[in-house]
Amino acid sequence: MNKNLPIIPKGVYTHNEIYSQPDAWQAALTVLAENLSAIRSINPLQVNQVIFTGCGSTYYLAMAAASLTQQLTHCPARGLPASELWLYPDTAYPTGQTLLIAISRSGETTETLRACESFLADHRGTLLTLSCYPEMPLAGMGAFNLVLPSGQEHSVAQTRAFSTLYLATTALAVIWAERGDLFASLNELPNSCLRMLEKYSSLAADLAQDLSLERFYFLGSGPRYGLACELSLKMKEMSLSHSEPFHFLEFRHGPKSMVTPSTLLLGLRSTINASYEEAVLADVRKLGGHTLVMGETEAEVSFESRLDEAICNVLYLPFGQMFAFERAMAKGLNPDHPANIESVVKI
């Protein structure tokens, strides 16, 4: 071991990547504005379906992006793991042309590259890619390649990369839906993120210190289910905690049997369906579990963004990331280098 190398404190990279998200988002929005014409030239209405794909975190991103894209554009869209597209194409692609949107932080994940290669070889449609490193293979494979360098990271677990890439897919959806009002409102998100980080960092740290909490459940529905999956993954990766995601009302159908006083349920509550989702949270509290609500208003973690629900979903991410980070630190772990995983998976 080289004794002259500096010792980097645990979590320094992840901490920086979480708290630098407002600047990363602003830089990404600049890139999106510069590529507005190219994005508009890709019309999802001219294909039979849109498929978003990725691996790990970006698979969950694909799920969230597909749900929002279908909601705003009314184009059939779904998110699938890249390995399924590669190994089981007949179950993934119906007949007709597809717009495939491949998402990868590194741009070199084997399954994603293989999925794109086979998609192009079989002439299944148009490929669009989103990544963070311009020199990597994925960034040159598509008919259009959107590269967001502000999402680059040192840590294994994605935080800044995930939110930056997800923000980009939100922009794609509102552009294709011809919602210029929503696209303009995206510029308010960096400041909203900054307020969230400043206001709720101490809550995340204090809650993480409660080691009596041992089971964590993240609930989100519609476009937020993929985000709930991602935040659950962050708890697993960084803090090695028992964590699972569910659709809100699905939690009543069996999973609530796991509720104990050691349970914390974090709800990504919507504004539109708040009453139904709040009823699930009330069930958990009656069973002795703990809840924490994230949402626009009347929540322990309130955005108070005054933005349309369709574009403020990204604001659910900062608190969940901070909480996972602080939980790892409270357990003496290093969130920069979670156990047993690597930043790029190659086969």
Q: pLDDT tens digits, residue range 225-246?
A: 999 999 999 999 999 999 999 9
Residue 97 near residue 125, CB atoms below 8 Å = yes
pLDDT at res. 1: 43
Same domain assignment for residues 144 and 40: yes
Same domain assignment for residues 25 and 172: yes
Q: Tokens standing for 40?
A: 């508009």
Long-range CB contacts for residues 325-329, cutoff 8 Å, separation at least 24: 325/11, 325/14, 325/15, 325/18, 325/159, 325/204, 325/238, 326/204, 326/205, 326/207, 326/208, 326/209, 327/208, 327/235, 327/238, 327/239, 327/241, 328/11, 328/238, 328/239, 328/240, 329/10, 329/11, 329/208
pLDDT at res. 328: 96
Same domain assignment for residues 171 and 202: no
Same domain assignment for residues 86 and 113: yes
Q: At what angle do helices 160-176 and 12-19 cross, to 10 degrees?
A: 30
Partners of 101 in the β-ladder: 52, 128
CA distance linking residue 209 with residue 228, whole number of Å: 22
Residue 180 near residue 72, CB atoms below 8 Å = no
Residue 131 near residue 141, CB atoms below 8 Å = no
Q: Give pLDDT < 70 ranges for the chain.
A: 1-7, 340-347
Distance of CA 287 to the CA centre of its chain: 30
Residue 197 near residue 318, CB atoms below 8 Å = yes
Same domain assignment for residues 134 and 202: no
Partners of 49 in the β-ladder: 98
User: What amino acid is encoded at 226 in this protein?
Assistant: G
pLDDT at res. 339: 73
Q: Tokens standing for 225?
A: 């289910």
pLDDT at res. 338: 80
pLDDT at res. 341: 64
Tell me the CA distances in angstroms from 168 to 11, 62, 111, 203, 315, one per residue in order.
26, 12, 22, 28, 14
Tell me the CA distances in angstroms from 150 to 45, 104, 272, 342, one per residue in order.
30, 14, 32, 21
Domain of residue 174 covers: 12-178
Same domain assignment for residues 291 and 157: no
Same domain assignment for residues 152 and 256: no
Same domain assignment for residues 151 and 262: no
Same domain assignment for residues 122 and 58: yes
> CATH no. for residue 90?
3.40.50.10490
Tell me the CA distances in angstroms from 33 to 26, 30, 184, 273, 325, one per residue in order.
11, 5, 10, 32, 32
Residue 96 near residue 47, CB atoms below 8 Å = yes
pLDDT at res. 344: 60
Same domain assignment for residues 142 and 200: no
Q: How crowded is residue 319: how many other Cβ atoms within 10 Å of its Cβ?
A: 25
pTM of full prediction above 0.85? yes
pLDDT at res. 94: 84
Q: Tokens standing for 136?
A: 């990597």
Residue 2 lies in a domain: no
- B/e letters for 237-253, b = 16+ CB within 10 Å, e = fewer, are bbbebebbbbbbeebee
Q: Tokens standing for 48?
A: 């039979």
What DSSP string describes 220-280?
A: --GGGHHHHHHHHHHHHHHH--EEEEE-TGGGGTTGGGG--TTEEEEEE--STTHHHHHHH
pLDDT at res. 45: 87
Same domain assignment for residues 222 and 123: no
